[in-house]
A and B are shown apart, each in its own frame.
Chain A
Amino acid sequence: MSDTEQPTDDHADDEFEPIQVFPEPEEMDLRPGADNCYKCSTCDTNCPVAEVDDEFPGPKFQGPEQWRLKRQDDHDIDDSVMKCSNCMRCDHACPSEVPLSQMHNTARGEYVAENMSKRSLEYWRNRLLSNYGTMARIGSKVPRLTNFVMGLSITKLVNDRLLGITSEREFPEFATETFRTWWADRGGAAIQSDDRRVAYFHGCYSNYNTPEVGKAMVRVFEHFGYEVLVPDQRCSGTPMYANGMLGDARRAAETNVPELAAAIEDGAAVIASCTSCSMSLRQEYPELFDLEGVHEVSDNTWEALEYLRVHEDLEAALSGTAVDLPDLAYHAPCHARNQGLDGQAIEVLDAIDGVDAHDVGDSCSGISGTYGWKSENYDTSMKIGEEMFEHMERADADTGLTECPTCAMQMEHGTGYEIKHPLQVLETALIGENDRSETGGGAESR
């Protein structure tokens, strides 16, 4: 985070009186962030979109430069902001603490609110994509039918031609049993504990599409004696920021923040298995939403392995365990990288016998959530991913590994590899293969 949250144009009792640039202090003053930019262009050299797309002017323009242009009343947000994939690599790049992604998120929100027609197909397509959780809730009620319909070529054709959702990709299958259904059928937590308690933020994807990741989380934490809570929750907001749907994101946050804050009040730490979810709760929530409890949630949210690593002797627990996965091609999601989690999965899994995970480099997978699903971005998305695909193929593996569900889609799409979540490898090492009786039907594969 940056010092942008501290307004600078309100120096009531300072001797030093800067020139008053705005009529009055704004709700979110990004000026200190813009002033921090000394135009070194390091962000531009990290932007995966600018590297492959001539039309994209890069993060330096989208952030500080556009913010300055906006000081003139007659300037609208440039529509190129919609080409930003929200990978947030520029945040980590900036040597001068400019809050680039925060600037992009607010600019995109403003563009959608003021410049995009609410009657356009693009608006509704983006709204549909960014509200994946809602779609999934409906679709997963009849998972087999939904999977069948979504897999039909006529559905894909209509999506592509009418909505601009690419027909190149296979829609992720809905699990026949959601994580929450499994959790309820199981009777909730198997372990009760007052002092070892975590609240699981499963997000949409491990609920509707990969419940095996959620189950792995539960089993691994229960293995270490934690009571797992599964609070009510909605989408973390990541796809909504990326589409400038800040209103939708805020509404979801208004559910998530009080629910998670209550769990924290009960002594739980918040655990996410998706690194974009943890990124959102940690960074974007406090940057974008002034909600009661938002900082408590930010300060008490962890990625699953990260939490175990700091609170348990994970290395000791894993030594002597064995899993037969000799060649894993690991991709660190951009959002994991920004939380300092880039080397973590490989370091942790290294302690397991028979597991050999190779890092496939620091390139972006290119899908960036909903970005690569849009027909107009598909080619850019695949061009960005090229480097990762090449490195995956060179890694001599047939299984991929990543924490991010959409990176996993892209990895699978580009290479045909089966993709696992590090928690699943941990589960197999610590507990063994899934107990069939608990697995329910059809959740193992995707």
Chain B
Amino acid sequence: MAIEDDVLVIGGGLAGATAALAAAEHDADVRLLSYKQSTLRHASGLIDVLGYTPAGEGPLAEPFEAIPDLPEGHPYERVGVDAVREALLFFDAVAGDAYSGAHTESNALVPTSGGTVKPTARYPAATEAGLASDPRDTLLVGFHGLPDFDAPLAADHLEAAGVPFAARGVTLPFPGIRRDDAKVTRYAHILDRDTPVDTGVGEAPARTALAETVRPHLESAARVGFPPILGDENAGVVRRDLEERLGIPVFEVPSGPPSLPGMRLEDLLYGALGEAGVRVTTGVPVVDYELEPAADGVESGAGDGDDTDAARIDRVLVDRKGREVPYRASEYVLATGGLVGKGIRSRREPVPTDGVDDAATHGTGDDPASSPAYRSSVGSDGAPAEPRTATGSEVDEALARRSGRVFEPIFDCHVPHAPDRYDWFVDDAFGDQPFARYGLTVDRELRPLDGEGDLEFSNLRAAGAVLGGYDYAAEKSGSGVSLATGYVAGSRAGERATEDAE
């Protein structure tokens, strides 16, 4: 038998975690399945809603005023501006004191490690003292072993950008770390545990040693910014300790991957998932699905009349290192990410669709044990054109069955894209890149649509970067879209699942 829950969320990033939390609000049994670690570990930890319009206007001071003007198909247009507001309130409740910015609908301006200023709606409490709108003079401190944050350069950039304060940067040795490429977790670990470190003139606790290293450089600075390595589990304590020792506010400057603020956000979300009773399974991919038998499957969702005759997903198959294990739920949320997270994939050549009968590939067998045997018989019919090696893994086999050059690897949902690969991009790296908008098209309930505009499945919703129609990098809308669509998809799935159960 399958492992059963009411709602199954596939994907463990911001969208997936939000969807699972929102579904759990409806007293549904919820499971979150996550294959690899999410791209939250690449993320700055900032919660952007909308920094620039799709036409490139900005930075926007009032993101919520711009949302109603977004084009049809944009994820915010799909869910509506009120849902975006609700989703942020939902996030604020989950994040509690760990995040700031809830007092206003306006964007805050946060300095980044590159010395740019980023418009964002919510930011970690550790970032608060560093806002660019704050006129206090600023010292930025970088470390020799962390070249991603060049503090003097960042300070110069900030001043060139016209911030209302004087900024100065210094690069210092980090007490206790001599290695050139020590990991950010190593820095955080030393500060978290206040490990005794060698200061050159004896041993001292790490935070004391760090404060003593920085103090001679403070001069007239009224606040001091560090790369985001100030602790992990005990980050709040580390920051307050340094503030006390230095006598001025301390903040972190968000940076690129690998990012502790992103990891802390991940910890925060997974802590909330645990408290909400969401079951979490990680490390293994969903590789396939089976449909409910059509004969009695049509009625199961009847009630609100818009289910039409779309198929229902009965179960998904999870590849546990070679063995496929079935997981079943009544509602599913797909939050597997975009091209970076591999929720959307691409390849050089499309798989010809002739010979692949989708209905046949996804049988309705009730016996899980019949599935692999069935699938290997599909394989021997020579359906997929992509060469399959004798040692190909289940994952490779599943990918080989999906259609198109740009495709969604689990359910093979339709991904609109130009047939010629040379139309996927433009030469200007910072130009309007078509590929950045590739993803699923959905109805207003976030259910994926096929090429004809019909529902792919009646019990699947999509959230986060797997959605198309927006360019999160250019718009600075990634986190907001994940929150809003995760919240809507999860809430709706939770509602439907508990209705079905009644």
Beta-carbon nearest neighbor of B390 in chain A: A295
Chain B nearest Cβ from A63, distance in angstroms: 14
Query: Which of B160-168, B321-329, B460-468 interfaces with chain A?
Result: B321-329
In the complex, which residues of chain B have a beta carbon less than 8 angstroms from the beta carbon of A311?
1
Q: Which of B179, B258, B283 contacts A40 (CB 8 A)?
A: B258
Q: In chain B, residues 159-196, which have Cβ atoms closer than 8 Å to a Cβ of chain A?
A: 177-179, 181-186, 189
Known A42-B257, A92-B283, A95-B38; contact A2-B393, beta-carbon cutoff 8 A: yes
In the complex, which residues of chain A have a beta carbon less than 8 angstroms from the beta carbon of B189?
51-52
CA of A286 to CA of B394, assembled, Å: 13
Query: Which of A68-76, A338-346, A374-382, A428-436 interfaces with chain B?
Result: A338-346
Contact B395 A1 (CB under 8 A): yes
Q: In chain A, residues 289-308, which have Cβ atoms closer than 8 Å to a Cβ of chain B?
A: 295, 298-302, 306
Contact B185 A45 (CB under 8 A): yes
CA of A93 to CA of B282, assembled, Å: 10
Q: Which of A310, A342, A347 contacts B1 (CB 8 A)?
A: A310
A58 at the interface (CB under 8 A from B): yes
Contact B182 A94 (CB under 8 A): no
Contact A46 B322 (CB under 8 A): no
Which of B38, B260, B322, B391 has the most C-beta atoms of chain A within 10 angstroms of its own C-beta? B322
CA of A5 to CA of B395, assembled, Å: 13
Contact B320 A50 (CB under 8 A): no
Chain A nearest Cβ from B494, distance in angstroms: 19
B308 at the interface (CB under 8 A from A): no
A44 at the interface (CB under 8 A from B): yes
In the complex, which residues of chain A have a beta carbon less than 8 angstroms from the beta carbon of B260?
45
In the complex, which residues of chain B have a beta carbon less than 8 angstroms from the beta carbon of A301?
322-323
In the complex, which residues of chain B have a beta carbon less than 8 angstroms from the beta carbon of A340?
281-284, 318, 320, 325
Contact B280 A342 (CB under 8 A): yes
Contact B42 A42 (CB under 8 A): yes
Contact B321 A1 (CB under 8 A): yes
Contact B2 A310 (CB under 8 A): yes
Known A42-B258, A54-B179; contact A306-B320, beta-carbon cutoff 8 A: yes
Contact A299 B1 (CB under 8 A): no
Contact B179 A6 (CB under 8 A): no
Q: Which of A5, A45, A52, A339 contacts B284 (CB 8 A)?
A: A339
Beta-carbon nearest neighbor of A94 in chain B: B36
In the complex, which residues of chain B have a beta carbon less than 8 angstroms from the beta carbon of A339?
283-284, 320-321
Contact A50 B283 (CB under 8 A): no
Interface residues on A, range: 35 or more
In the complex, which residues of chain B have a beta carbon less than 8 angstroms from the beta carbon of A52?
186, 189
Contact A347 B341 (CB under 8 A): no
Chain B nearest Cβ from A249, distance in angstroms: 17
CA of A46 to CA of B323, assembled, Å: 26
In the complex, which residues of chain B have a beta carbon less than 8 angstroms from the beta carbon of A5?
389, 391-393
Contact B282 A337 (CB under 8 A): yes
CA of A279 to CA of B283, assembled, Å: 12
B368 at the interface (CB under 8 A from A): yes
Known A50-B185, A340-B320; contact A6-B283, beta-carbon cutoff 8 A: no
B417 at the interface (CB under 8 A from A): no
A24 at the interface (CB under 8 A from B): no
In the complex, which residues of chain A have a beta carbon less than 8 angstroms from the beta carbon of B38?
95
CA of A46 to CA of B280, assembled, Å: 18
Chain B nearest Cβ from A204, distance in angstroms: 21
Q: In chain A, residues 252-309, which have Cβ atoms closer than 8 Å to a Cβ of chain B?
A: 279, 282-283, 286, 295, 298-302, 306, 309
In the complex, which residues of chain B have a beta carbon less than 8 angstroms from the beta carbon of A2?
393
B359 at the interface (CB under 8 A from A): no
In the complex, which residues of chain A have a beta carbon less than 8 angstroms from the beta carbon of B179?
54-55
Q: Which of B3, B36, B258, B392 contacts A41 (CB 8 A)?
A: B258
CA of A2 to CA of B35, assembled, Å: 13
CA of A347 to CA of B3, assembled, Å: 11
Chain B nearest Cβ from A122, distance in angstroms: 24
Chain B nearest Cβ from A99, distance in angstroms: 10
CA of A405 to CA of B174, assembled, Å: 39
Which of A1, A295, A301 has the most C-beta atoms of chain B within 10 angstroms of its own C-beta? A1
Known A44-B185, A54-B186; contact A342-B282, beta-carbon cutoff 8 A: yes
Q: In chain B, residues 238-271, which have Cβ atoms closer than 8 Å to a Cβ of chain A?
A: 257-258, 260, 263
Known A310-B3, A310-B368, A337-B283; contact A50-B322, beta-carbon cutoff 8 A: no
Beta-carbon nearest neighbor of A41 in chain B: B258
A3 at the interface (CB under 8 A from B): yes
CA of A309 to CA of B327, assembled, Å: 11
Q: In chain B, residues 1-52, which have Cβ atoms closer than 8 Å to a Cβ of chain A?
A: 1-3, 36-39, 41-42
Chain B nearest Cβ from A95, distance in angstroms: 5
Contact A299 B368 (CB under 8 A): no
Which of A41, A47, A96, A283 has the most C-beta atoms of chain B within 10 angstroms of its own C-beta? A41
Beta-carbon nearest neighbor of B391 in chain A: A5
A57 at the interface (CB under 8 A from B): yes
CA of A104 to CA of B182, assembled, Å: 19
Chain A nearest Cβ from B16, distance in angstroms: 14
Contact B183 A295 (CB under 8 A): no
Chain A nearest Cβ from B43, distance in angstroms: 11
Chain B nearest Cβ from A196, distance in angstroms: 12
CA of A313 to CA of B4, assembled, Å: 11
In the complex, which residues of chain A have a beta carbon less than 8 angstroms from the beta carbon of B326?
310
A97 at the interface (CB under 8 A from B): yes
Q: In chain A, residues 156-182, which have Cβ atoms closer than 8 Å to a Cβ of chain B?
A: none
CA of A55 to CA of B180, assembled, Å: 11
CA of A92 to CA of B183, assembled, Å: 18
Contact B322 A342 (CB under 8 A): no
CA of A171 to CA of B36, assembled, Å: 36
In the complex, which residues of chain A have a beta carbon less than 8 angstroms from the beta carbon of B42?
40, 42, 95
Q: In chain A, residues 84-108, which have Cβ atoms closer than 8 Å to a Cβ of chain B?
A: 92-97
Contact B282 A299 (CB under 8 A): no
B396 at the interface (CB under 8 A from A): yes
CA of A282 to CA of B320, assembled, Å: 9
Contact A3 B396 (CB under 8 A): yes
CA of A55 to CA of B179, assembled, Å: 8
Q: Which of A57, A310, A342 contacts B181 (CB 8 A)?
A: A57
Contact B396 A343 (CB under 8 A): no
10 A-B pairs, CB-CB below 8 angstroms?
A1-B321, A45-B258, A46-B37, A93-B37, A95-B36, A95-B38, A286-B322, A306-B325, A310-B326, A337-B282
Closest 3 pairs between A and B when the two form their complex, measured CB to CB: A340-B284, A282-B321, A1-B393
Give me 7 other A-B pairs in contact (C-beta within 8 A), A45-B185, A50-B186 excluded. A2-B393, A40-B42, A40-B257, A45-B258, A95-B342, A339-B284, A341-B320
